[in-house]
Structure 1
Amino acid sequence: MNPFVFACIAPHGSEIIPELGGTKPERMRLTRDSMMKLGHKMHDAKPDTIIVLTPHGTRIDGYFSVSNSEKMYGFVEENDGFYELERYVDRDLALAITKEAKEHNIPIASINYGTASGPISCLPLDWGAIVPLSFMPDVPIVVINPSRDLSFETHIKLGQMMNQVVQKSNKRVALIASCDWAHAHDERGPYGFDPAAALLDEEVVGFIRSNELEKMAEFDQEYIDAAKPDGIWQTLILAGAIPKEARNIHLYSYEVPTYFGLICAEITSSQTSYHVY
């Protein structure tokens, strides 16, 4: 079953935030408009907690990391703009996910900073979380960072454990897989150009349209290294958390306004009548 009141795949290019659009706000307008729609849907769902899967948070080699601080704070600077965000952490849910995963032999660790609780217990909030959360309601969060040292199958398994925890929680929980896609679309970009970028993004869009997210686990490592996506791992966690038979997917948009691909998609329960396209 799908225990989440709302779920989505969302990008984290900083210029998506209106305050950071600079002199070219049209550059990510399509994605920004899609994020505003996702934000409205999230507000309508009235979550108590939002779980954010981000590739850019605190990384632990060989372990998933789960936020367990009192709160999280971070900021993003771009195009002479500044945007900051602070959120409290749903520590009960974070610890429940960590406990459930450990009981199933999934390498995972909860992390904190400074003090056990109180205002000094504050972890950094990365742009992979800040950008999508900037469109979402101000509710407590749980931030989970994947580990690329772990297999794709382990990422799916973590999602399955999250599904069980959310079912038992009696909370209205939402899920965001924060994902940018291939980063090698433009030779002027920091990662250069590789034709694998367009090919991989095309396959990803196809998997989203056909509701076959699990097929991303079949990508060859050399192909991934050439295209340089950062969304596969979070998407596979989401695929475990909301299995294929329990989900429909509504693709809002795909664009490549700079050197990396941006996708916005909503995941709904299979009981909901939604056209996948």
Structure 2
Amino acid sequence: MKCWIYLMNPFVFACITPHGSEILEALSDDASLMARTRRSMNSLGHAMHQSAPQVIVVLTPHGTRAEGQFAIANPERLRGTVEHHDHAVVMERLVDRDLARDIAQTALADEVPTALLNYATSEGPLSCMPLDWGAIIPLAFMPEVPVVVINPPRAFEFTPHLRFGASLARAAAQCGKRVGLIASCDWSHTHAETGPYGFHEAAVKLDTQVVACIESGNFEALAAFEPRLIEDAKPDGLWQTLVLAGAIPPHVRRVEVLSYEVPTYFGMICAAVHAPKPDVQP
């Protein structure tokens, strides 16, 4: 079995972001509700703008899934709508298909189950797939550049996520472009009885541990969470963060947590994962 470990950080900027709809003021009836997270997202967006990426890779839990595989969207375009409080935000982005294919080829060569996804036609105006809210919300704060959107499988065996992250880093390093990386993650979804999943005391327990792991830069510790705790707390961020862990190794991982809050029924963390200085070449 091949398992590649990339030793540097090939991303000009990386971050962990939430994707609650009301982070966008256009979708909120109460601008104070997620104000702290919105300020943090503006800071992350500013940092991404300053890093001048030519393409942004988004790891989302809500896109089109391929069970047991890392699903990489590979149409010409992605287009989607997020609706909330009778308001809507529409977004369309071009796909960097060269990088999408390179990531898939590298992961498959590393024996990580991976699928390239398209719809309708191989190219042209009908080659378009849905852009989900897990990507739209963070991308609304970021530069308008082509994207690669990836949906990791939600299994409790996390080794493939670390391995896929290493494959992703190698493909990014070799593509010759300035690549940004977003791990789109909400955390426990059982903080409130009024939420769609009800209340469970596991929510506070899991989120407390997640914040500690992210603050310390020890993303790999998330792989040790018990399946029962995960099932009770219902986070959707573990899988993307573990891909990020594989993509940016601990010795070059400089993490800055901007905020954590639970304004409704789910937890939200904003964190920057800084790249090396620009004169350091991967």
TM-score, normalised on structure 2?
0.94
Conserved 8 A contact 2:191-2:203: yes
Within the candidate set 101, 119, 122, 1:113 is matched to 119
Number of the residue aligned with 2:222: 216
- CA distance in structure 1 between the partners assigned to 2:35 and 2:155 by the alignment: 35
Conserved 8 A contact 1:61-1:149: no
Unaligned runs of 5+ in 2: 1-7
Number of the residue aligned with 2:158: 152
- CA distance in structure 1 between the partners assigned to 2:157 and 2:92 by the alignment: 32
Deviation of the 1:271 alpha carbon: 5.9
Deviation of the 1:119 alpha carbon: 1.2
Deviation of the 1:150 alpha carbon: 6.6
- CA distance in structure 2 between the partners assigned to 1:225 and 1:109 by the alignment: 26
- CA distance in structure 2 between the partners assigned to 1:149 and 1:25 by the alignment: 36
Number of the residue aligned with 1:21: 28
Within the candidate set 46, 49, 58, 1:52 is matched to 58
- CA distance in structure 2 between the partners assigned to 1:225 and 1:85 by the alignment: 32
Letter of the 1:21 partner, please give it.
S
Conserved 8 A contact 2:55-2:180: yes
Number of the residue aligned with 1:275: none
Letter of the 1:158 partner, please give it.
F
Conserved 8 A contact 1:189-1:259: yes
Number of the residue aligned with 1:5: 12
Letter of the 2:151 partner, please give it.
N
> CA deviation digits over 1:251-273, x for unaligned, max 9?
0000000000000000013669x
Deviation of the 1:151 alpha carbon: 2.1
Number of the residue aligned with 2:179: 173
Conserved 8 A contact 2:156-2:227: no
Look up the SS of the partner of 1:34 in the other structure.
helix
Conserved 8 A contact 2:188-2:235: yes
Conserved 8 A contact 1:246-1:271: no
TM-score, normalised on structure 1?
0.96
Unaligned runs of 5+ in 1: 273-277
- CA distance in structure 2 between the partners assigned to 1:50 and 1:70 by the alignment: 15
Within the candidate set 177, 187, 193, 1:187 is matched to 193
Conserved 8 A contact 1:64-1:145: yes
> CA deviation digits over 1:72-105, x for unaligned, max 9?
0000000111101000000000000000111111
- CA distance in structure 1 between the partners assigned to 2:157 and 2:112 by the alignment: 11
Look up the SS of the partner of 1:5 in the other structure.
strand
Aligned residues: 271
Conserved 8 A contact 1:62-1:150: no
